[in-house]
Amino acid sequence: MAEDVPLAETRAPRPNVWFALEQSRSLFELWQFTMARPMLRLAPEGDGRPVIVLPGFLADDDSTAILRQYLDEQGHAVYPWRLGVNIGPTETILDGVERLLDEIFEAHGEPVSLVGVSLGGLYARDLARRRSDKVRQVITLGSPFRIDRDSQNSMGAVFEAMTPLHVPASRFSVWTLPRDLLPVPATAIFTRSDGIVSWQACIDQASQESENIEVVGSHSGLAHLPTAVYAVADRLAQPAESWTEFAAPAALRSLYPQIGNHAY
């Protein structure tokens, strides 16, 4: 159990021990996903409601293909972001994800769930603040929305090199309001053995409509880690009119070290 330390007073260290093992762990988790398909089919099924999946930094739609295919098989209407490689919060990308949200909202006539992997989760939270009327819920996978931009991740130097292309901080609400609760339900999935970003930067405040789900795995493998993927499917399958905390089935409970909206 993590100590009950107010997040505003917590400074997360830069990850290091797990960084060198990221790729090998991610490949192992891909094998785990293949082996876990029978278990994953037991997740609650969707009813055709719309979902957008946003990729992480320097990734594209190929990186979320496994997750999207699985969610599609579970009965969700899943959409890729279609914006190429994610190079950070440029004007083109921020306008593009907002335009995509508008299009899918109009096509389905109902709010859209946003699933964001790493940096993609920051876009999801930004959209939820600005367009809450069109967002049903936000689910983030290893998304450092509480990040200290230059000290809490192993890709900081690469990201900083691209900042001339990015919008000013005032244009991106995650930089200006990193600790504010969202106006829609929010689920933050994180791993303490994250080798790219500090896990402390990936967890939300405690509230009645926010929760943190801890899984055991790498940062790079979160979009195909069986426990993370199962949790995403479970969250998306909730009734539209209600939201409750994730409750892992008894057979899987031991695979989730921490679940809930308590403080870390």
* pLDDT-derived band at 177, boundaries 50, 70, 90: confident
Name the band, by pLDDT with cuts 50, 70 and 90, for residue 9.
Answer: very low
More confident residue, 40 or 10: 40
pLDDT given for residue 5 in this prediction: 37
From residue 80, how far is each of 89, 161, 193, 217 by CA, in Å? 17, 26, 27, 24
CA–CA distance, 149 with 196 (Å, rounded to integer) = 13
What integer best gives the mean pLDDT of the chain? 88
Q: What is the pTM of this model?
A: 0.90
Q: Which of 109-123, 143-157, 232-246 has the highest mean pLDDT?
A: 109-123
Answer whether 16's CB lies under 8 Å from 210's CB.
Answer: no
The predicted structure's pLDDT at residue 128: 96
Q: Which of 146-150, 197-201, 244-248 has the lowest mean pLDDT?
A: 146-150
pLDDT band at 8 (very low <50, low <70, confident <90, very high): very low
Cβ–Cβ under 8 Å, residues 54 and 115:
yes
**Cβ-based neighbour number of residue 14 at 10 Å:** 14
Residue ranges of domains in the chain, CATH in brackets: 15-238 (3.40.50.1820)
Distances (CA, A) of 168 to 90, 120, 165, 175: 9, 18, 10, 9
Q: What is the pLDDT of residue 94?
A: 96
CB-CB contact of 53 with 100 (8 Å)? no
Mean pLDDT, residues 170-183: 82
| Beta pairing partners, 52 | 79, 114
The pLDDT value given to residue 167? 85
pLDDT above 80 (res 210): yes
Lowest-confidence region among 135-144, 178-187, 211-220: 178-187
Exposure b/e, 189-207, CB count within 10 A at least 16 = b = bbbbbbbbbbbbbbbbbbe
Per-residue pLDDT of 66-81, as tens digits, reads: 999 999 999 999 999 9
The rounded distance, in Å, linking the Cα atoms of 260 and 104 is 30
Q: How far apart are the first and last CA of the chain?
A: 8
